[in-house]
Structure 1
């Protein structure tokens, strides 16, 4: 009789279960981190406290995140990937600025749902305020935004068949677009209504203003 041995590769169902468990642990760490950051401050929160809140080890925390900043900005990864996917799916003949605008506004509901699956929306909103008021986090977010602009520039260049090393238009457009998104976020952050609807409205208003601000006359028309 031949001896049977276990397969070197786990069954697909086992792999799926393992990945879901890892995702649940990562989400729990993000949720615990944001709850601690918003309640006692980013600087006063330790990695040990985050791990203890989820009943895992510090070593487990570092399997998912390189540091506290990474955990604090973890949802930015989700938002960026959803946006880039939406941009890649825009019609090939759509003008670049329109593609960017439609990608942002079109993916909004999907992003809001994805965020809600990890943390309550009101916690995400409070975390935004923590990031804006914490120099280390704000600096880390600005670095991430610069990296994201490079990726968007590459996508716009691909869509238009331009080489951003010799043609400045993709880089300039994406820089202007990124500035508008930043301005919209800051405007929302100073509004009394810190809701998802208010943030989306701010994005829409700022994006609709970009074209006229660049091409139109700023002189008031005298009746």
Structure 2
């Protein structure tokens, strides 16, 4: 009986995840096609094949839909940092962790989301919190790897700079016409940072 209940629970969770992903994918398609502001919740629900009531079971707003694409980033980033081999410089640890993070991004969806966010001042402000969370995540993970209190401020600076590099790389990639990958942009920006640091 317990085993049957576990199977049913697993099936329900799988169906819930499938529905959530379908709504999010449908919303993204409509945002790109019609514009973020012009896309209504009713339109998303109808295109997803669900009722408005069912929609609100999964999401409370359009902003929450966009947030689903980023909800797992902090924990994924933290795990990547802590999994790095010891003996590296903190910047190298974060560069490698960033590369692991972006390896899981869907290029088309990522660029579409970037452009949607850029179209709205409200979404831009909301998106700022994503980078703040990543900065805090990086700092806390570095503190686990380098617990020396005398290096606390240095670890915070490293975390802030690395997330700034990620942000710049994402923007250049999404706006770029050179056909370079996000990985290439990220590596180039980290290398540029190292060169400039040596000049100080």
TM > 0.5 between the two? yes
**2:32: which partner in 1?**
38
Matched, 1:16 2:4: no
CA contact (8 A) 1:35 1:123 kept: no
CA contact (8 A) 2:135 2:163 kept: yes
SS in 1 for 2:88: coil
Q: CA deviation at 1:98?
A: 0.8
Q: CA deviation at 1:83?
A: 2.3
TM-score between the two structures when normalised by the length of structure 1: 0.79
RMSD (Å) for aligned C-alpha atoms: 2.3
- 4+ runs deviating over 6 angstroms: none
**1:174: which partner in 2?**
159
Q: How many residues align?
A: 200
**2:119: which partner in 1?**
133
Q: 2:169 aligns with which of 161, 177, 184?
A: 184
Equivalent residues in 2 for 1:98-177, closer than 5 Å: 98-109=92-103, 111-112=104-105, 115=106, 121-163=107-149, 167-177=152-162
TM-score between the two structures when normalised by the length of structure 2: 0.87
Q: CA deviation at 1:38?
A: 0.7
Which structure would you say has the larger Rg? 1
CA contact (8 A) 1:153 1:174 kept: yes
Q: Which sections of structure 1, spanning at least 5 residues, go unmatched?
A: 1-5, 116-120, 218-223
Distance 1:41 1:180 in 2: 29
**2:45: which partner in 1?**
51
Distance 1:148 1:85 in 2: 12
CA contact (8 A) 2:74 2:137 kept: no
Q: CA deviation at 1:216?
A: 2.4
Q: CA deviation at 1:192?
A: 1.8
CA contact (8 A) 1:38 1:130 kept: yes
SS in 1 for 2:181: helix
Distance 1:139 1:10 in 2: 46
Relative distance call for 1:170 and 1:58 in structure 2 (3 A) is farther
